[in-house]
Amino acid sequence: MSRIARALTIAGSDSGGGAGIQADLKTFQELGVYGMSAITAITVQNTLGVSNVYPLPPEAAAEQIEAVGSDLGVDALKTGMLFSAGIIDAVAERIRAFGWTRVVVDPVMIAKGGASLLQPEAVQAMKELLLPMAYIVTPNIPEAEALSGLSIRSMEDRREAAKRICGFGAQQVVIKGGHADSGDQVIDLFYDGAEFTELVGRRIPTRHTHGTGCTFSAALTAELANGTPALQAVGTARAFIQAAIEQELGLGQGHGPTNHFAYRRLQGAFR
C-alpha cells in the first residue's frame, strides 16, 4: 500500500469553520491528503466578524509542531495566522530544525471583516525569519503591499512587489488578484524567481468569500505534498477555490464561508 501524503497547517482556529485550521483540514481531506495541525491562536468569530483573539504561548505552537514532525512526518506545510513575533520565531525555528522545504507562507494579516490577525511588529519577523524558508508565499494585494513596502496599483507594481518578496529569500510568490479592480476578471500573478505568469479567472459576485486565502494556500499545500510541480499546484489551487466560491453554501449573515465540497464533487461529475 502506498503511503498517503501528509500536510501540516500552522494557523489559528476559526470557530465559524470557514477559515484557519478548519478550512485547511477540510481542503486537505478533499484533495486526498492526510491533514495535521498546530494551532497558534483561538479566534472567536462567525460570518459577521472576529470578536476576540486568544493567542497561545509560542511554546505551544512549537510543541505541537514537534509532536507531529517527530512521529507522523510532513511532506508539505503551510503557515496561516501566526499573530505575534514570538510565535513566528518559534514556528520558524521548528521548521528549520526539521529541514522542511515545501513551506507555503500565507501571510495572514487582516480578517475579512477588518480585524487584525497579525501584530504590526510581527511583520518584520515574518520578513526576516519566515520568508527566507518559504517555497511559495501567497499574499493578497494588501499583504503584498505590507511585505514589499510598495503601493500596488498596477500589474507592474505587482511584479515589483513579487521581486521584493522573493528578495527576502522566498523561492516563489503568488500575488492574488481578488482585491484588484479588474472588472469581471481575477488575475493572479505567479513569480518563480525568474519568470512571471499571469493566471486569469472569472470574478464571482458574492459575499460568500470568507476563508478564500486560507483555502487557496491549503489546496496549494496539499498538491505540493502530493509532489505536484509548483505552477501546476497553483493551477489546481485556483480551480479548487473557484469551485468553492461558485458553488456557494449561503451560510451566515455576513461574509459566508466557501464550499469546500465543491471541487471534488465537480471532478466526480466530469468523470
Give me the active site residues, please: 176, 209, 211-214
Query: Can you list the alpha helix ranges (DSSP code H) found in the chain?
Result: 20-30, 58-71, 85-98, 122-125, 141-148, 155-167, 212-225, 230-246, 262-270
Quickly tell me which residue has 470557514 as its cell. Answer: 18
3-state secondary structure (DSSP) of residue 203: coil
Question: What are 38's three cell numbers?
Answer: 498546530
Half-sphere exposure (Cβ direction) of 251: Cα atoms closer than 13 Å: 15
Is the Cβ–Cβ distance between 230 and 224 less than 8 Å?
A: yes
C-alpha distances (whole Å) from 164 to each of 109, 147, 227, 250 are: 18, 8, 27, 38
Query: Cα(258)–Cα(212) distance, rounded to whole angstroms?
Result: 7
Q: What is the DSSP annotation of 230-269? A: HHHHHHHHHHHHHHHHHS----SSSSPBP-TTHHHHHHHH
